């Protein structure tokens, strides 16, 4: 199918990338660097592609796979990702299959036969399977069009998604030096990019770096008061009835949060590695195929999830790094429409993350890198400037303030916290650097507790000197002191706070400390950035008139019925944006329907009559 001449091509000629883009994928033009990447790989060049989630990375290898002779082999780390991609390609009429542990022996042998006989356009393979002698021998039995290494950041030993088997993928270059390779990732800081090139032997590859900016995502980070209540308020006020992901650090917190949300009317499911595989698969299927499901999960859930209409990603625990935060928040708004990345965090999160680093069995070098990554994330959390500017600067990109984050939409106030900081630091010192923030705040506020009396801290000069600030304000002060590096957490002393060397100038009155006020403030949805968003992001996901809206509802009902019949996620049939455009244009012929973006030749043949019928009603 894939390399047969198209109607636009002359006799005996191969289809061009643009012709395949139109005929198979139903798109009239490339976006961003897609054309340049595709042409480079089609010509046989290696490539490293850094492109944000939702930016069209998959097309950069899928399209060359349909132009170059042979079968493309795609290395993918997750079963869910393979299944989604193969299902979507099959809908387009592309001969695609996967090899992973979800197949029984009979099904796997059938896929291997199809591959060996050259009857596949793309074969998706898990990395641990690909590097086995059996699989390498299989690959040698047919012509390879290209190798695509998806989620290439998994090769980084310092990264958040490290997969040891990725380190062995350099064997592809050793055995097939003339076959082009394309490595793709949605997140990679400069250090990780160097690792990808070195470990995958991509020294001659051309690097394509797209902007990491996701302008349709609104970033909001606020102080943690009552995380579950804050989360429920956010969902109810901003995203009632919409799909979202809530990330938690521990399995227990996942279970408790999902149960609590469900008891308050939110259709929430729990997902973590401790749940049996069958239940996880069932819940993931519900999330992908049903509207409005909220998945509460650890980071075991998410990578490779291709659901385009996730309207929010929330964190009620602090991630480990900016890379992890960016990767996880990038699962929102893949369709380009407005979405939210929302997070609450507090001093306890910082203490817990630092404890995990110190308690790990990693090398001292690894611990230093992990600490630096956490510090960079804390800088993002505490900044009073544009979050997007700070976020993208981490990836080496410079932009103007975005107008679509909480600090732009509701600029935070800053205050001279020098006196408060000196009081807090003095309390740390005078109590012997042996206590956590809760006890220190009790001392500063002059509370009468059994613990204070037992240690005689009511006799200290710092006792009661902090009554001018409320307990919540002192929590903010101590959190920001840790984030600023003025106070350190001693995990061997059960989270006690100790003075850092950098605190001395503050105590001596030689340094001014400014902090941001972290009271929650309303963040308005509209912003100046709305005028500069891509059209798909700036416009709501519905048609413009009541009649269009009625048609769109009818089209979605048909799509849901069709998806259930085929046991597929609805977006694999047709995306919301395609249905909305059909409702708006109201095509009356197959020729007019073929002009709608997202309607390729196979979908026109398969669904054209049904779509036109629903447009006529």
Whether 543 shows a pLDDT value over 70: the answer reads no
Total residues found in the chain within this entry: 617
Element (H, E) at 302: none
Do 298 and 431 reside in the same domain of the chain?
A: no
Query: 160 and 197 share a domain?
Result: yes
Q: What is the mean pLDDT of residues 294-304?
A: 80
Q: Measured in whole angstroms, how far is the alpha carbon of residue 105 from the centre of its chain? A: 33
Query: What is the rounded CA–CA span in Å between residue 262 and residue 113?
Result: 47
DSSP structure class, residue 13 = P
Q: Are residues 75 and 102 in the same domain?
A: yes
Q: Which two tokens stand for residue 504?
A: 């001395």
Which residues lie below 8 Å from residue 479, measured CB to CB, with a gap of 6+? 223, 346, 347, 350, 437
What are 524's two structure tokens?
């308005």
At 312, which CATH number?
A: 3.40.50.300
Tell me if residue 379 falls in helix, strand or coil. Answer: helix
Question: How many domains would you assign to the chain?
Answer: 4
Specify the pLDDT at position 54. 79
Three-state SS for 16?
coil
pLDDT at residue 168 is higher than 70: yes
Specify the range with the lowest mean pLDDT, choosing from 56-65, 292-301, 522-531: 522-531
Residue 3 falls within a domain, yes or no?
no
DSSP 8-state assignment for residue 492: G
Task: Identify whether the C-beta of residue 249 lies closer than 8 Å to the C-beta of residue 570.
Answer: no
| Spatial separation of the C-alpha atoms in residues 323 and 334, rounded to whole Å | 18
Please indicate, yes or no, if residue 536 is contained in any of the structural domains: no
Of the chain, the percentage scoring pLDDT greater than 90 comes to 65
Where residue 318 falls among pLDDT bands split at 50, 70, 90?
very high
120-133: average pLDDT: 95
Query: Domain range for residue 38?
Result: 17-209
- For residue range 409-433, what is the model confidence (pLDDT) as tens digits? 999 888 999 999 999 999 999 999 9
Residue 526 lies in a domain: no
| Residue 12 domain flag | no
Residues 197 and 267 grouped into a single domain: no
Task: Give domain status of residue 305, yes or no.
Answer: yes
Q: Kindly tell me if the per-residue pLDDT of 265 is higher than 50.
A: yes
Whether the model pTM is above 0.85 = no
């Amino acid at each position: 199918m894939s390399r047969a001449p198209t109607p636009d091509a002359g006799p005996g000629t191969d289809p061009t990338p643009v012709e395949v883009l139109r005929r198979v994928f139903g798109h009239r033009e490339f976006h961003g660097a897609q054309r340049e990447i595709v042409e480079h790989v089609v010509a046989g060049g290696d490539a490293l592609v850094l492109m944000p989630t939702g930016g069209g990375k998959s097309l950069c290898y899928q399209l060359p796979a349909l132009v170059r002779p042979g079968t493309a082999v795609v290395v993918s780390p997750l079963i869910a990702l393979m299944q989604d991609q193969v299902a979507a390609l099959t809908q387009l009429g592309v001969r695609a299959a996967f090899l992973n542990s979800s197949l029984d022996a009979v099904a796997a042998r059938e896929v291997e036969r199809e591959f060996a006989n050259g009857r596949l356009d793309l074969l998706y393979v898990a990395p641990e399977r690909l590097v086995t002698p059996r699989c390498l021998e299989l690959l040698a039995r047919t012509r390879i069009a290209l190798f695509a290494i998806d989620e290439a950041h998994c090769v980084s030993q310092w990264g958040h998604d490290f997969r040891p088997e990725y380190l062995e993928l350099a064997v592809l270059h050793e055995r097939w030096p003339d076959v082009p390779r394309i490595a793709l990732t949605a997140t990679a800081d400069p250090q990780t990019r160097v690792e990808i090139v070195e470990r995958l032997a991509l020294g001659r590859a051309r690097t394509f770096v797209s902007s990491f900016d996701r302008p349709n995502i609104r970033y909001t980070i606020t102080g943690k008061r009552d995380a579950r209540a804050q989360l429920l308020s956010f969902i109810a006020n901003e995203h009632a009835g919409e799909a979202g992901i809530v990330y938690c650090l521990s399995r227990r917190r996942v279970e408790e949060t999902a149960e609590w949300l469900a008891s308050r009317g939110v259709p929430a499911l729990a997902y973590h590695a401790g749940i049996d595989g069958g239940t996880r698969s069932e819940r993931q299927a519900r999330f992908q195929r049903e509207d409005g499901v909220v998945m509460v999960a650890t980071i075991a859930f998410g990578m490779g999830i291709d659901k385009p209409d996730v309207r929010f990603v929330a964190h009620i625990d602090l991630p480990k790094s900016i890379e992890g935060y960016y990767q996880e928040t990038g699962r929102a708004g893949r369709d380009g429409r407005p979405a939210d990345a929302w997070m609450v965090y507090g001093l306890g999160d910082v203490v817990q993350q630092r404890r995990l680093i110190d308690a790990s069995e990693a090398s001292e070098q690894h611990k230093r890198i992990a600490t630096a990554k956490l510090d960079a994330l804390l800088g993002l959390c505490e900044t009073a400037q544009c979050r997007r500017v700070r976020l993208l600067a981490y990836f080496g990109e410079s932009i103007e303030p975005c107008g679509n984050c909480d600090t732009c939409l509701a600029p935070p106030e800053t205050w001279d916290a020098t006196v408060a900081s000196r009081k807090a630091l003095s309390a740390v010192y005078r109590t012997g650097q042996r206590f956590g923030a809760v006890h220190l705040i009790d001392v500063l506020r002059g509370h009468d507790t059994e613990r204070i009396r037992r240690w005689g801290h009511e006799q200290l000069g710092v006792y009661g000197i902090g009554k001018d600030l409320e307990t919540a304000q002192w929590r903010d002060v101590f959190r920001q002191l840790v984030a600023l590096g003025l106070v350190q957490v001693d995990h061997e002393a059960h989270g006690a706070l100790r003075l850092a060397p950098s605190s001395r100038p503050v105590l001596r009155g030689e340094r001014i400390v400014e902090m941001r006020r972290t009271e929650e403030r309303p963040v308005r949805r509209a912003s100046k950035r709305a005028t500069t968003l891509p059209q798909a992001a700036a416009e709501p996901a519905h048609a413009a008139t009541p009649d269009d809206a009625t048609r769109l509802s009818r089209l979605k009902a048909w799509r849901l019925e069709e998806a259930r019949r085929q046991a597929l996620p609805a977006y694999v049939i047709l995306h919301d944006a395609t249905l909305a455009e059909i409702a708006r244009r109201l095509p009356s012929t197959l020729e007019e329907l073929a002009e709608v973006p997202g309607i390729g030749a196979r979908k026109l043949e398969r669904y054209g009559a049904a779509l036109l019928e629903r447009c006529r009603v």
